[in-house]
Amino acid sequence: MHSLTNQTDLFSFSPNFVKKKILKFNMPKINQPKYLSALNFALKLHSKQMRKGTQIPYFFHLSSVSNHVIENNGNTDEAIAGLLHDAVEDQGGEKTLRLIKKKFGTKVARIVEDCTDTKIEPKPPWFERKQQYILNLKNKPQSSLFVSMCDKTHNASCIINDYYRVGKKIWNRFTASPKQVCWYYESLGKCYYKHLKGHKVLKQNFKKLVSEMKRVAK
């Protein structure tokens, strides 16, 4: 993880800014006060975190995942879980999970926990974590599968976009080989296609992303 430098002020959204600019749109399925609280919680929790190998604030990934959820007809708990899906894994483990449950409820906490591949620090080896995540995922509730797919869709899109920006150096960000990364996303796809009901467009998009990832990984 990298700390924010002088760029911090560019991304320090006040609650009023979020309320006036981000939540001014009509989102009938979203409890806006609860969502606003989660936005500010995620901003604070991940304020010093960057996307791996970049100077992009991590919050942009979280908001993108939540946007995917909302755009694909997700509900308030799913949208909030999209914002907080990495909170336990990256920002405090079980203590953070208990705080999420207290602030946002059992349903949100369950989805976040299901989207977490480890609560242990230091993290277990990459392949061990990913293999266990895939094995566990097939038994998860629909909301957890849905938020997980929105997360991995954005991750896959970023990998491909960054490949076209920096080339093969993109693979240096991982503790796994390009072949292993492709295996992981292809295995996730098979799980989503089999166990997640509906979301045909999201599944088709994910399948295209995995195919492109395999192509650029050669």
For 185-202, how does the pLDDT look when each residue is reduced to its tens digit (9 = 90+)?
999 999 999 999 999 999
Residue 1 CB coordination number (10 Å) = 11
For 132-156, how does the pLDDT look when each residue is reduced to its tens digit (9 = 90+)?
999 999 999 999 999 999 999 999 9
pLDDT at 73 over 50: yes
| pTM for the structure as a whole | 0.88
Domains within the chain, CATH numbers bracketed = 6-216 (1.10.3210.10)
Rounded-to-5 percentages of helix, strand, coil across the chain? 70, 0, 30
Task: Please check whether residue 186 is in contact with residue 210, taking contact to mean a CB–CB distance below 8 angstroms.
Answer: yes
81: closest CA among 130, 114, 123?
114
C-alpha span between 66 and 116 (Å, rounded): 16
Task: Please check whether residue 107 is in contact with residue 143, taking contact to mean a CB–CB distance below 8 angstroms.
Answer: yes
On the 0-12 / 13-18 / 19+ scale of CB atoms within 10 A, 114 is buried
Q: What is the mean pLDDT of residues 173-179?
A: 94
